[in-house]
Amino acid sequence: MTGTPHTHHWFGCGWFAQAMSTLGGRLGRSAAGIVLIAVGLLLVGGPLGIALAVVGLLPLAAGLFDLCVFSALFGGPLGGSAIRAERLAPHISSSGRD
């Protein structure tokens, strides 16, 4: 077998990352981003509202482009497809034994 062996990351294998990498998780992140943008621009206004709208771009973009920022912050994979692969790949213990 050639190539680098698949390594698992604790965050990517966890329930939160797995849930966020589903279609429902992506739609939820996108919806949260839209709500933050709308609240910032329509209800808050001013510099604080603009800042809130800019913050809302992060979950919106993460949902649209299948990214998980929290996973990347904790050293795991950024892409949703890599996170989903964590669930599908066989688990190998740190000692190398199953």
Residue 67 DSSP code? B
Residues 6+ apart with CB under 8 A from 3: none
Q: pLDDT tens digits, residue range 43-53?
A: 999 999 999 99
pTM above 0.75, yes or no: no
Mean of pLDDT values over 12-30: 82
16 and 49 in contact (C-beta within 8 Å)?
no
What is the predicted pLDDT for the residue at 7?
Answer: 54
Q: pLDDT tens digits, residue range 23-79?
A: 998 999 999 999 999 999 999 999 999 999 999 999 999 999 999 888 888 888 888
Higher pLDDT, 29 or 20: 29
